[in-house]
Chains A and B, each alone.
Chain A
Amino acid sequence: MRLADTLRFARDAATGYPMRTTLSILAMSIGVAAVVILTALGDGARRYVVGQFSSLGTNLVIVLPGRSGTGGFNPANAITSTPRDLTVDDAASLKRLPGARRVAPLAVGTSEINYGGKLREVMVAGSTAEFIPIRNFELAQGKALPEEDWNRGSSVAIIGAKIRDELFASEAALGQLIRLGDRRLRIIGVLKSTGQGLGMNTDELVIVPVSLAQSMFNSNTLFRIMIEANTRDAIPATKEQVLELLKQRHRGEEDVTVITQDAVLATFDKLLGALTLGVAGIAAISLAVAGILVMNVMLVAVTQRTGEIGLLKALGATARTIRFAFLAEAAMLSAVGALVGYLLGQLGAFALRQFFPVFPAYPPDWAVIAGLSTALATGLLFGVMPARRAAQLDPVQALMKR
């Protein structure tokens, strides 16, 4: 029998029994759609988290005051209960490190901003000129904080997009004087709107020179020091240098914690990648179930069409021809099911993206390919047994059955 004829014969046989054909296509398509949608969710979560971390800045090394729980026991730490302050001078000293391209101290607090009688609570970040490039923020108007002595801050501020809108509406904000707590500051820049991210929401942020923030909040310690390493490869070395230098400055006590964005990112990337794989595995089980269903459907088809198989043999069909015809039918059911499932899955992923625009729910290519090929393979594999059973039927017995 020619291939085109075999395929046409299988197609006619499949469409001749719409109920069982629809059922097995449905089962197969649900399996494939599950793989596509679930991996789109898993990979979307991974991309979302990775994207958020990347938006914090590139090649970041971050210093936190205080020792984190991990690490060896240090008797010096045990004696001094409160950690030494992380100061602006500590941050300034890090500028000398060979691996550091940029350094920015960060002090944070909340305060009230007041302009023309309008009052609102804001988050205040005290930092230096390089804060904006390190954190990948962008200015919509104006300029960054001035390059100056870190211990002597000018009375200037950069405001977030939402604050600008609320206080100034259509008025020009640049150059205006505002009140922040008990200070009068001149606005020198406005940040671009970014929306809610993993880090701080810059739309409601006011950035001022670090020394100004510290005196406003009456504190000497920094919230963070951010260092941008020269390259991705330089991150571990830079981390070591930072630790070493701060230890020296703190009289041999290791009372700071240094984390790298890279390490956090890699952990999340791995974790969520594994999650996606696991989810894909679970979805693949439904594919195997669908394969078994296709097998049962084909076994029923063989029983239903016993008389026909006997006739085909009487008309000179070889066992091979009959095997191929039934295999082609099973393959067709799985292929159509896989295709429908793929389209359903993409549709589902599209719907997810419509409802949650920030969530990049795209199924990864490997999952789509694995899903489709698993569907086809199980369909064929489970189609073999019924096809063989059909080919082995005794023609006389088969013909007697009506």
Chain B
Amino acid sequence: MALIELSGIERSFLLGDTTVHALAGLNLQIAAGEYVAVMGPSGSGKSTLLNLLGLLDRPNAGTYKLEGRDVTTLSPEEQATVRSTRIGFVFQSFHLVPRLSAAENIALPMTLAGIPSAERDKRVSQALKDFGLENRADHKPDQLSGGQRQRVAIARATIMQPALILADEPTGNLDRHTGEEVINLLEALNARGVTLIVVTHDQSMGARARRQLVMEDGQLKSDSRTTT
């Protein structure tokens, strides 16, 4: 059974009196544990696809099955629960809460899920260790470097032990070297079995993935696998 199963997905936006088809008749299957890079020109629908996969957006038509369950018909509350427990997001602009410390930002998904604070503290200190942030626990985001911020964001995305991590240009705001580090972290997560979907403009980064999706005008232009 595939982790993700999209069939006939349509997503269009009304801009004035023209409709933009951000996704048009998309069919896609992704198995658990895959490492997928999504590439394509600007405006081709990559972010729209990722938002849809992350249940932040609903398709106009088509079905989306996550772990065999049709999630497009779920109520908003049920979708929130799926996001909380099964999906982790990593954004280009980090999206850390500025007034919370690194540790509190990492703990945020658990706080929202109502996990007791003793358990939270345990998991956060482990995550801080795993991501080399022990000395930065009490720092606010504006006291962290870009690479450190993205590490905090990745720690936050993984703290609920999701099955799926969605990263929209995670290295877009980072220099080459730091970007490399961040990708290494994500790949390490994938190596431990987490399904990883990364949107990137960087050909060499894309080439590192075992499967490359290239999008154009809301459709899949190519779907290729690197054989290693």
Contacts and interface: CB of A to CB of B under 8 A. Distances in A.
Contacts of B222: none
Interface of A is mostly: helix
A1 B81 CA distance: 12
A4 to B, nearest CB: 8
Contact of A316 (B57, B85, B98): B85
A315 B100 contact: no
Contact of A12 (B54, B89, B99, B156): B99
A9 interface: yes
Contacts of A396: 51, 56-57
Interface string B88-116: 01010101011110000000110111101
A311 B83 contact: no
Interface string A314-338: 1111111100000000000000000
B43 interface: no
Contacts of B27: none
Given A1-B111, A396-B57, A399-B56, A317 B80 contact: yes
B193 interface: no
Contacts of B100: 12
A317 B89 CA distance: 13
Interface centre among A311, A312, A314 (most CB of B within 10 A): A314
A313 B114 contact: no
A152 interface: no
Contact of B83 (A16, A307, A315): A315
A395 interface: yes
Contacts of A5: 111, 114, 117
Contact of A16 (B51, B85, B93, B99): B99
A279 interface: no
Contact of B95 (A1, A15, A316, A399): A399
Contact of A307 (B54, B95, B99): B95
Interface string A284-326: 0000000000000000000000011011111111111100000
A381 interface: no
B112 A321 contact: yes
Contacts, number: 69
Given A1-B112, A1-B114, A316 B99 contact: no
Contacts of B112: 1, 312, 315-317, 321
Interface residues of A, number: 26
A13 B109 contact: no
A402 interface: yes
Contacts of A16: 98-99
B224 to A, nearest CB: 28
B97 A308 contact: yes
A2 interface: yes
Interface residues of B, number: 29
A216 B80 CA distance: 98
A402 B91 CA distance: 12
A395 B56 contact: yes
Given A313-B80, A319-B76, A399-B95, A2 B114 contact: yes
A326 to B, nearest CB: 14
B7 to A, nearest CB: 22
Given A315-B156, A316-B80, A320-B77, A13 B89 contact: no
Contacts of B77: 318-320
Interface string B10-25: 0000000000000000
B76 A318 contact: yes
A260 to B, nearest CB: 68
Contact of A399 (B91, B111, B117, B160): B91
Given A319-B76, A396-B57, A399-B95, A314 B114 contact: no
Contacts of A310: 95
A315 B99 contact: no
A2 B119 CA distance: 14
B84 interface: yes
Interface in B56-84: 56-57, 76-77, 80-81, 83-84
Nearest to A319: B76
A315 B109 contact: yes
A37 to B, nearest CB: 36
Contact of B99 (A13, A312, A318, A399): A13
A402 B95 CA distance: 9
B56 to A, nearest CB: 4
Contacts of A316: 80-81, 83-85, 109, 112-113, 160
Nearest to B108: A315
Interface string A39-69: 0000000000000000000000000000000
A399 B116 CA distance: 28
Contacts of A402: 93
B74 to A, nearest CB: 12
Nearest to A16: B99
Nearest to B76: A319
28 contacts: A1-B111, A2-B111, A2-B116, A5-B111, A5-B117, A9-B111, A12-B99, A12-B100, A15-B99, A308-B97, A311-B97, A313-B80, A314-B95, A315-B84, A315-B156, A316-B80, A316-B81, A316-B85, A316-B113, A316-B160, A317-B84, A317-B112, A318-B76, A319-B76, A321-B112, A395-B57, A396-B57, A399-B56
Across the A-B interface, the 7 shortest Cβ-Cβ residue pairs = A316-B84, A16-B99, A316-B83, A318-B80, A395-B56, A315-B109, A317-B112
